[in-house]
Amino acid sequence: MYKIASRHQQRRVEKAQKKVRRRLKGRAKPKPEITDEDEVALGCKSSEWPEFKEILRAKLLFLNKVGILRHAVEAALELNRMKFKTGSGQRWTPRLIMIAKMKLFDWRPKRYH
Protein backbone atom coordinates (compact mmCIF):
# COMPACT_ATOMS: atom_id res chain seq x y z
CA MET A 1 0.00 0.00 0.00
CA TYR A 2 1.21 3.50 -0.67
CA LYS A 3 1.40 6.32 1.81
CA ILE A 4 -1.07 9.18 1.40
CA ALA A 5 0.47 12.65 1.51
CA SER A 6 -2.09 14.57 3.54
CA ARG A 7 -4.97 14.00 5.93
CA HIS A 8 -7.32 15.55 3.42
CA GLN A 9 -6.36 12.99 0.80
CA GLN A 10 -6.60 10.19 3.31
CA ARG A 11 -10.14 11.23 4.28
CA ARG A 12 -11.12 11.36 0.60
CA VAL A 13 -9.78 7.84 0.05
CA GLU A 14 -11.55 6.51 3.16
CA LYS A 15 -14.81 8.16 2.09
CA ALA A 16 -14.54 6.62 -1.39
CA GLN A 17 -13.81 3.18 0.07
CA LYS A 18 -16.78 3.47 2.41
CA LYS A 19 -19.02 4.43 -0.51
CA VAL A 20 -17.90 1.37 -2.51
CA ARG A 21 -18.44 -0.95 0.48
CA ARG A 22 -21.94 0.46 1.01
CA ARG A 23 -22.81 -0.03 -2.65
CA LEU A 24 -21.54 -3.62 -2.69
CA LYS A 25 -23.07 -4.60 0.65
CA GLY A 26 -26.63 -4.90 -0.61
CA ARG A 27 -25.73 -6.53 -3.90
CA ALA A 28 -26.62 -10.23 -4.11
CA LYS A 29 -23.91 -12.54 -5.35
CA PRO A 30 -24.71 -15.19 -7.95
CA LYS A 31 -25.71 -18.52 -6.47
CA PRO A 32 -22.72 -20.85 -6.12
CA GLU A 33 -22.77 -23.53 -8.80
CA ILE A 34 -21.94 -27.14 -8.00
CA THR A 35 -19.11 -28.17 -10.30
CA ASP A 36 -17.92 -31.65 -11.24
CA GLU A 37 -14.81 -31.04 -9.13
CA ASP A 38 -17.02 -30.29 -6.12
CA GLU A 39 -18.96 -33.52 -6.62
CA VAL A 40 -15.75 -35.55 -6.97
CA ALA A 41 -14.26 -33.92 -3.84
CA LEU A 42 -17.46 -34.55 -1.90
CA GLY A 43 -17.60 -38.17 -3.10
CA CYS A 44 -20.88 -37.95 -5.05
CA LYS A 45 -19.37 -39.79 -8.03
CA SER A 46 -18.29 -42.73 -5.84
CA SER A 47 -20.16 -46.02 -5.66
CA GLU A 48 -20.16 -45.59 -1.86
CA TRP A 49 -22.01 -42.24 -2.03
CA PRO A 50 -25.37 -43.53 -0.66
CA GLU A 51 -23.75 -44.84 2.53
CA PHE A 52 -21.44 -41.85 2.90
CA LYS A 53 -24.37 -39.49 2.31
CA GLU A 54 -26.23 -40.86 5.32
CA ILE A 55 -23.16 -40.61 7.55
CA LEU A 56 -22.52 -37.06 6.33
CA ARG A 57 -26.17 -36.11 6.89
CA ALA A 58 -25.92 -37.33 10.51
CA LYS A 59 -22.69 -35.37 11.09
CA LEU A 60 -24.15 -32.18 9.59
CA LEU A 61 -27.34 -32.52 11.63
CA PHE A 62 -25.21 -32.90 14.76
CA LEU A 63 -23.24 -29.75 13.86
CA ASN A 64 -26.52 -27.95 13.25
CA LYS A 65 -27.85 -29.04 16.64
CA VAL A 66 -24.82 -27.61 18.45
CA GLY A 67 -24.97 -24.40 16.39
CA ILE A 68 -21.81 -24.82 14.32
CA LEU A 69 -23.26 -25.60 10.88
CA ARG A 70 -24.40 -22.00 10.40
CA HIS A 71 -20.79 -20.95 9.80
CA ALA A 72 -19.12 -22.96 7.05
CA VAL A 73 -15.60 -22.12 8.26
CA GLU A 74 -16.31 -23.40 11.77
CA ALA A 75 -18.09 -26.49 10.43
CA ALA A 76 -15.12 -27.34 8.18
CA LEU A 77 -12.70 -26.88 11.08
CA GLU A 78 -14.81 -29.09 13.34
CA LEU A 79 -15.13 -31.92 10.79
CA ASN A 80 -11.38 -31.75 10.19
CA ARG A 81 -10.78 -31.80 13.97
CA MET A 82 -12.95 -34.93 14.15
CA LYS A 83 -10.72 -36.42 11.41
CA PHE A 84 -13.79 -36.96 9.23
CA LYS A 85 -12.71 -36.73 5.60
CA THR A 86 -14.78 -36.04 2.48
CA GLY A 87 -15.93 -38.94 0.31
CA SER A 88 -12.71 -38.65 -1.70
CA GLY A 89 -10.50 -38.51 1.41
CA GLN A 90 -9.83 -34.75 1.35
CA ARG A 91 -9.98 -32.24 4.18
CA TRP A 92 -13.16 -30.17 4.48
CA THR A 93 -13.29 -26.60 3.17
CA PRO A 94 -16.02 -24.00 3.71
CA ARG A 95 -17.01 -24.36 0.04
CA LEU A 96 -17.44 -28.13 0.41
CA ILE A 97 -19.59 -27.56 3.51
CA MET A 98 -21.86 -25.25 1.46
CA ILE A 99 -21.99 -27.79 -1.40
CA ALA A 100 -22.83 -30.61 1.04
CA LYS A 101 -25.66 -28.55 2.53
CA MET A 102 -26.95 -27.77 -0.96
CA LYS A 103 -26.83 -31.46 -2.00
CA LEU A 104 -28.25 -32.97 1.18
CA PHE A 105 -30.73 -30.39 2.42
CA ASP A 106 -31.55 -28.39 -0.74
CA TRP A 107 -30.10 -25.38 1.13
CA ARG A 108 -29.32 -22.03 -0.51
CA PRO A 109 -27.27 -19.29 1.16
CA LYS A 110 -29.42 -16.26 2.02
CA ARG A 111 -27.07 -13.70 0.52
CA TYR A 112 -27.20 -15.49 -2.84
CA HIS A 113 -30.99 -15.23 -3.38
Per-residue confidence (pLDDT) for residue 26, from 0 to 100: 63
> Which one, of 92, 108, 106, lies nearest residue 32 by Cα?
108
Per-residue confidence (pLDDT) for residue 113, from 0 to 100: 44
Q: Which residues of 29-46 are buried (b: 16+ CB within 10 A; e: fewer)?
A: eeeeeeeeebbebbbbee
Cα gap 84→56, rounded to integer Å: 9
26: Cβ–Cβ under 8 A, 6 or more apart, which residues? none
pLDDT tens string 21-39: 777 666 655 667 888 898 8
**pLDDT category, 107, cuts 50, 70, 90?**
confident
pLDDT tens string 59-90: 999 999 998 888 889 999 999 999 999 999 99
How do the domains of the chain map onto residue ranges? Answer: 36-112
pTM above 0.75, yes or no: no
